[in-house]
């Protein structure tokens, strides 16, 4: 028999000091129950002959109980009178344990697990944390309208994955709190209100404790979203993996965390994180109760479609990517006079005046793709990412022979070619070569071919079609992919922005990505951009517009590895994109240091290896990104860039690599030797 309130009152009166704080009394009561197994060990030992009255077990019991009386919760004083009577009361309790546990209903027959006896957690209540309307101005008596419960409000049980990763039942008032004046509805994680055209629109709560992840009443504590974020960062774990892991660890047969719910959690959490990072949290609205797809689309529209920036990165600076500007020394060797493309050299400013600073960014293309329309020249996303081939505009082509430029109708609905036997046969052998191969299979083949031939393309022997060699046959048998993800990052690794190249890493596309990234902040442009094809890009810029701002703000250089292949061929290369000229013409890139023996050595001023770490981290997401729709791809890349930028910023702060006061003094030309 368990105890009733009568026994509880008796226990409290007998064994607890009246001045003990309530929180402490309830805590001690719980500790007493959980200490029961130690008492059992004591009693068991005492049954043997010649055992002491107070065993070692009993000494531990007493010490733990004394400690429980003084172990205060945050901000609650255990002994309200200020006099600590813990040892005294622990003594009373230990002197009368038999009676006490009898009253509590614990005896040898009780299960050894005192948890079965312990206080149950109350069911969480899911409700808005607001009390008053967010939109309505103060009215009569200067009061902002309070939030009301609707007349038909009833409570409902929902499943909640709580902060300790347990599924628990929680209660939610089904009809939400609402403002009687403006009719806004308040949910734990969002607010809905009548927008334009009577369509309800939704605003997010940006710091919700609970997030709804399913229409059918499944909620998740925000700690789970944080765990999902960390799993992404540390283990490259996407939402499906994370859901599997949650189910493996919760081991609850009644509820499972589905892929869809995990994806929803990812979307809800990162929509908030991205909107805050982009400073758009106050203007963002979407359709009330929209699907995951619509939410992702709406957020993408705000933070950037097919490309974007990491807002905080534009103004980033640290000692690994930002240096005080250096000027050419007077005693340098003159540059060869016969070169047509010499650099205008800036004269060093007089001592004491500002010399400014330079920052180096690195750009390259990464093979992180998503699928797109099967027509080579079309950049549009697929209508159907499950097994579709065409974009909205070219959807009608599914009824036309997939071999271009045949143009005849397909021989039967769903077929990929017309009824010409040569086309049917060509498609069949194509299928046999390609379609059975999974994505990892294709990757393996490409990797092997790269190792053998150092060529980047997948070459599988295809039959010729008439006079056309097999690999030159143009067809629409399957969706194509974008060519690469183009990223720009500071030399220290902080990502700045990104865009997509569609058919090749062409200079016009690359230039437009750069233009887009610094569109609103031309003053934040880097002084140097390291890029494999710097010379091509530079030539394109000059040809297109000799007055382009880039020519004044930024020098494009080639990274050291690629420069080996450039150097000999081209004057523009030699003078403009050399990453480490030894003639003293680029003092920002090459440092001359004199060693102990008085010998001068030239070293490179920036180490761009840290930028490579972003590449290897991103590569871990390749197969996940490949499965995604263009919308999810964009959303995911925004997430990865923000997450990585935050990670590097944190490391910069931890390692003390921020720009120092001395740095700014030198930049601004302030005298450094002023004593403060
Ligand atoms: Zn209101
Ligand atoms: Zn940096
Ligand atoms: Zn298309
Ligand atoms: Zn045909
Ligand atoms: Zn490179
Ligand atoms: Zn070059």
| pLDDT tens string 83-130 | 888 888 999 888 888 888 888 777 777 665 656 666 778 899 999 999
Cα–Cα dist 197/375, whole Å? 39
Q: Using the 8-state DSSP alphabet, how is residue 53 labeled?
A: S
Average pLDDT over residues 660-664: 88
Q: Cα 418 vs. chain centroid, distance in angstroms?
A: 47
Give the environment of ion ligand 2: residues with CB less than 5 A.
318, 321, 490, 492
Cα–Cα dist 265/239, whole Å? 9
Q: Indicate the pLDDT class of residue 334, thresholds 50, 70 and 90.
A: very low
pLDDT digits over 142-161, tens only?
888 889 887 776 888 999 99
Is residue 643 within 8 A of residue 233, CB to CB? The reply is: yes
Cα–Cα dist 132/186, whole Å? 10
Report which bound ligand comes closest to the CA of 138. 1
* Distance (Å) of CA 310 to CA 71, 276, 278, 488: 46, 12, 8, 10
Cα–Cα dist 165/243, whole Å? 12
Give the environment of ion ligand 1: residues with CB less than 5 A.
133, 135-136, 179, 181-182
**Token pair 């206080």 is at which residue?**
119
Contact partners, residue 470, CB within 8 Å, separation at least 6:
461, 462, 463, 464
Across-strand partners of 468? 465
- Span from the CA of 304 to the centroid of ligand 3 (angstroms): 21
Poorest-pLDDT segment among 329-333, 559-563, 628-632: 329-333
Q: Using the 8-state DSSP alphabet, how is residue 177 labeled?
A: E
* Distance (Å) of CA 362 to CA 201, 515, 519: 41, 15, 18
Average pLDDT over residues 282-289: 93
- Span from the CA of 431 to the centroid of ligand 4 (angstroms): 16
Task: Please report the pLDDT score of residue 276 as a whole number.
Answer: 97
Task: Please report the pLDDT score of residue 331 as a whole number.
Answer: 46
User: In this prediction, what percent of the chain has a pLDDT beyond 70?
Assistant: 85
pLDDT digits over 22-56, tens only?
888 988 988 988 898 899 899 899 999 999 989 99
Q: What is residue 82's three-state secondary structure?
A: coil
Q: What is residue 191's three-state secondary structure?
A: strand
Q: What is residue 262's three-state secondary structure?
A: helix
Task: Please report the pLDDT score of residue 447 as a whole number.
Answer: 66
Is residue 483 within 8 A of residue 368, CB to CB? The reply is: no
- Span from the CA of 538 to the centroid of ligand 6 (angstroms): 9
Phi, psi of 438 (to 5 degrees): -75, 170
ipTM, 2 decimals?
Answer: 0.81
Average pLDDT over residues 350-361: 76
- Span from the CA of 523 to the centroid of ligand 2 (angstroms): 17
* Distance (Å) of CA 364 to CA 451, 519, 616: 21, 19, 13
Among residues 537, 539, 542, the alpha carbon closest in space to that of 513 is found at 537
pLDDT at position 649 over 90:
yes
Which string of DSSP letters, residue by residue, matches 387-446? T----STTGGGGGB-SEETT-PBPSSTT-SS-S-HHHHHHHHHHHHHHTTS-HHHHHHHH
**Strand-pair category, 590-594 with 600-604:** antiparallel
- Span from the CA of 639 to the centroid of ligand 2 (angstroms): 19
Q: Using the 8-state DSSP alphabet, how is residue 574 labeled?
A: I
- Span from the CA of 588 to the centroid of ligand 2 (angstroms): 16
Overall residue count recorded for the chain in this entry: 676
User: In this prediction, what percent of the chain has a pLDDT beyond 90?
Assistant: 51
Cα–Cα dist 583/329, whole Å? 11
- Span from the CA of 526 to the centroid of ligand 6 (angstroms): 19
Among residues 59, 78, 74, 75, the alpha carbon closest in space to that of 21 is found at 78
Task: Please report the pLDDT score of residue 676 as a whole number.
Answer: 37
Contact partners, residue 454, CB within 8 Å, separation at least 6:
none
- Span from the CA of 300 to the centroid of ligand 5 (angstroms): 29
Burial of 175 (0-12, 13-18, 19+ CB in 10 A): middle
First to last CA, the chain: 76
Cα–Cα dist 164/51, whole Å? 43
Q: Indicate the pLDDT class of residue 316, thresholds 50, 70 and 90.
A: very high
Report which bound ligand comes closest to the CA of 185. 1
- Span from the CA of 363 to the centroid of ligand 5 (angstroms): 8
Cα–Cα dist 649/645, whole Å? 6
Q: Cα 567 vs. chain centroid, distance in angstroms?
A: 39
- Span from the CA of 540 to the centroid of ligand 6 (angstroms): 13
Task: Please report the pLDDT score of residue 345 as a whole number.
Answer: 47
Q: Cα 556 vs. chain centroid, distance in angstroms?
A: 30
Cα–Cα dist 345/332, whole Å? 12
Tell me the angle at which helices 259-277 and 239-250 cross, rounded to the nearest 10 degrees: 120
Task: Please report the pLDDT score of residue 557 as a whole number.
Answer: 85
Q: What is residue 132's three-state secondary structure?
A: strand
Report which bound ligand comes closest to the CA of 427. 4
The overall average pLDDT reported for the chain is 85
* Distance (Å) of CA 298 to CA 265, 275, 288, 302, 453: 16, 11, 12, 7, 45
Task: Return the beta strands (E) in 288-356 as ranges.
Answer: 307-309, 322-324
Average pLDDT over residues 268-285: 96
Task: Please report the pLDDT score of residue 352 as a whole number.
Answer: 61
């Amino acid at each position: 028999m368990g105890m009733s309130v009568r026994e509880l009152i008796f226990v409290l009166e007998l064994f607890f000091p009246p001045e003990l704080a309530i929180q402490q009394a309830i805590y001690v009561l719980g500790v007493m129950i959980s200490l029961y197994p130690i008492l059992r060990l004591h009693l068991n030992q005492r049954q043997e002959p010649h055992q002491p009255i107070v065993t070692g077990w009993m000494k531990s019991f007493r010490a733990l109980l004394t400690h429980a009386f003084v172990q205060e919760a945050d901000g609650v004083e255990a002994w309200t009178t200020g006099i600590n009577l813990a040892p005294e009361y622990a003594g009373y309790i230990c002197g009368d344990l038999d009676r006490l546990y009898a009253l509590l209903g614990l005896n040898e027959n009780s299960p050894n697990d005192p948890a079965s006896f312990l206080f149950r957690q109350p069911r969480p209540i899911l409700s808005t944390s607001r009390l008053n309307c967010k939109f309505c101005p103060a009215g009569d008596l200067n009061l902002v309208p309070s939030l009301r419960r609707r007349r038909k409000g009833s409570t409902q049980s929902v499943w909640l994955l709580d902060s300790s990763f347990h599924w628990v039942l929680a209660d939610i008032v089904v009809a939400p709190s609402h403002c009687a004046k403006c009719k806004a509805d308040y949910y734990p994680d969002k607010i809905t209100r009548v927008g334009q055209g009577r369509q309800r629109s939704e605003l997010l709560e940006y710091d919700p404790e609970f997030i709804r992840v399913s229409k059918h009443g499944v909620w998740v504590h925000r700690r789970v979203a944080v765990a999902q974020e960390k799993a992404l960062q540390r283990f490259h774990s996407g939402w499906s993996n994370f859901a599997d892991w949650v189910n493996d660890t919760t081991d609850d047969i009644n509820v499972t965390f589905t892929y869809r719910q995990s994806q929803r959690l990812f979307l809800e959490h990162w929509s908030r994180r991205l909107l805050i990072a982009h400073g758009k949290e106050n203007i963002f609205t979407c359709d009330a109760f929209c699907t995951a797809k619509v939410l992702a689309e709406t957020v993408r529209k705000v933070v950037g479609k097919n490309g974007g920036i990491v807002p905080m990165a534009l103004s980033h600076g640290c000692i690994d990517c930002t240096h005080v500007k250096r000027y050419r020394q007077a005693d340098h060797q003159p540059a060869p006079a016969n070169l047509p493309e010499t650099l205008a050299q800036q004269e060093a400013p007089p001592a004491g005046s500002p010399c400014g600073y330079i920052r180096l960014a690195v750009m390259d293309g990464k093979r992180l793709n998503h699928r797109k329309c099967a027509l080579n020249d079309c950049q549009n996303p697929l209508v159907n990412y499950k097994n579709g081939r065409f974009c909205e505009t070219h959807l009608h082509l599914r009824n036309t022979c997939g071999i271009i430029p045949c143009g005849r109708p397909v021989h039967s609905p769903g077929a990929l070619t017309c009824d010409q036997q040569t086309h049917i046969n060509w498609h069949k052998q194509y299928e046999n070569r390609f379609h059975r191969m999974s994505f990892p299979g294709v990757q393996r083949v490409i990797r092997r071919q790269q190792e053998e031939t150092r060529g980047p393309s997948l070459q599988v022997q295809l039959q010729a079609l008439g006079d056309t060699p097999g690999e030159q046959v143009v067809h629409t048998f399957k969706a194509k992919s974008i060519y690469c993800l183009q990223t720009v990052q500071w030399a220290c690794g902080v990502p700045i922005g990104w865009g997509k190249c569609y058919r090749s890493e062409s200079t016009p596309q690359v230039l437009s990505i750069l233009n887009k990234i610094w569109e609103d902040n031309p003053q934040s442009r880097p002084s140097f951009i390291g890029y494999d094809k710097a010379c091509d890009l530079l030539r394109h810029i000059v040809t297109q517009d000799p007055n382009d701002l880039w020519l004044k703000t930024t020098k494009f250089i080639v990274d050291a590895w690629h420069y080996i292949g450039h150097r000999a061929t081209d004057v523009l290369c030699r003078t403009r994109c050399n990453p480490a000229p030894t003639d003293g013409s680029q003092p920002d890139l090459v440092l001359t240091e004199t060693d102990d023996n008085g010998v001068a050595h030239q070293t490179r001023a920036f180490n761009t290896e840290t930028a490579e770490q972003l590449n290897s981290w991103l590569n871990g997401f390749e197969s996940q990104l490949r499965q995604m729709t263009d919308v999810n791809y964009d959303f995911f890349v925004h997430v990865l860039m923000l997450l990585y930028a935050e990670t590097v910023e944190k490391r910069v702060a931890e390692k003390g690599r921020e720009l120092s006061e001395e740095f700014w003094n030198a930049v601004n030309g302030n005298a450094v030797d002023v004593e403060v």
